[in-house]
Homo-oligomer: A and B are copies of this chain.
Amino acid sequence: MKNSIKVFASASVGNVACGFDVFGFAVEEPGDEVVMRLANEPGVAISKVTGDDGRLPNSSAKNTAGVAVKAFLDHIGSKKGIEIELHKKMPLGSGLGSSAASAVAAVFAANELLGHPLSRKELLPFAMEGERIACGDAHADNVAPSLLGGFVLIRGYDPLDVIKIPTPQDLFCTIVHPHIEIRTEEARKILPKNIPMKDAIQQWANTAGLVTGMMQSDFDLIGRSLQDVVVEPVRAKLIPGFYSVKKAALDAGALGCSISGSGPSMFALSKNGETAEKIGLAMQGAFAQEKIESTIYVSRINEEGPRDLSRNS
């Protein structure tokens, strides 16, 4: 058994336009790194946090990664001591599942370090506990794709029912993170409690269309289905220039473009890497018109999930 491990877990795009609260997919970058060691003292300790500008709690009872690992250790009945270094390598509060990436990296690392007692799917509830501390709610739409890799449907929570949807190999994702902040709670608060039946019907036609498009590698269908008539119209106003950024993405060849999670990051899908790069620059340009700086990330869908970085070192 190893004494230490270094794990990378990636960011993820939740909602994916039509699939509010039920779809999410993992990207190849950005993401977080966790270095974990077996410790002499029992319990879970956060020994170091970098890249967070001092914004994350070091107390393991309040830190996403600490809470997730504690829940995992309690479940398997381990008395081992665990020491965690958390290296944030992605923006916080960006709508890219930053807390999920930390929690996933941590439970994945702990599971590897303790001889792999659980499968990946079995780790999900513990990573979700980390999300609960960070967001007040044990949502799975970032945790599940970050942990399992790929494009994921969360069909239900009671019991938890998570399904991986195959995606076309050539599918690329462009993420543009504008350097502004939206609080998840605020983004939730402005959502209506009731919605028109006709919008709901359009939305459930689109979720069915999107998974069909993914499974049949039908890019046109993916594009036609990447429409959110329920949440995007409400949240767009939280992102300055939303509609011009979206238009820039579509004009540059995106299949579709919407808000990543609760924002402010926006994502676009496209069918090759070159177009994905072009889309990123177009979106960044549109944000610049609003005097907003932004960061571009381009990658394929990350089918692999967390990566053991110590394996090759």
| Residues of A near any B CB (own CB < 8 A) | 18-23, 153-156, 161, 163, 165, 191-197, 200-212, 215-216, 221, 224-225, 230
Q: Which residue of B lies closest to A218 (CB)?
A: B163
Alpha-carbon distance between A2 and B161 when the two chains are bound, in angstroms = 55
Alpha-carbon distance between A215 and B217 when the two chains are bound, in angstroms = 13
Q: Could you say which residues of chain B place their CB within 8 Å of the CB of A211?
A: 208, 211-212
Chain multiplicity (copies): 2
Q: Could you say which residues of chain B place their CB within 8 Å of the CB of A22?
A: 201, 204-205, 208
Instruction: Assess whether B194 is in contact with A197, with CB atoms less than 8 Å apart.
Output: yes
Closest Cβ–Cβ distance, residue A205 to chain B (whole Å): 4
For this complex, 14 residue pairs linking A to B, each with C-beta atoms less than 8 Å apart, are A20-B204, A21-B201, A153-B212, A154-B205, A156-B202, A156-B224, A194-B196, A197-B230, A200-B203, A204-B207, A205-B207, A208-B210, A211-B211, A215-B215
Closest Cβ–Cβ distance, residue A113 to chain B (whole Å): 33
Instruction: Assess whether B155 is in contact with A206, with CB atoms less than 8 Å apart.
Output: yes
Instruction: Assess whether B23 is in contact with A208, with CB atoms less than 8 Å apart.
Output: yes
Q: Which residue of B lies closest to A156 (CB)?
A: B205
Alpha-carbon distance between A200 and B200 when the two chains are bound, in angstroms = 6
Instruction: Assess whether A208 is in contact with B19, with CB atoms less than 8 Å apart.
Output: yes
Instruction: Assess whether B204 is in contact with A18, with CB atoms less than 8 Å apart.
Output: yes
Query: A155-B206, A203-B204, A204-B207 are contacts. A165–B197 as well, Cβ < 8 Å?
Result: no
Closest Cβ–Cβ distance, residue A19 to chain B (whole Å): 7
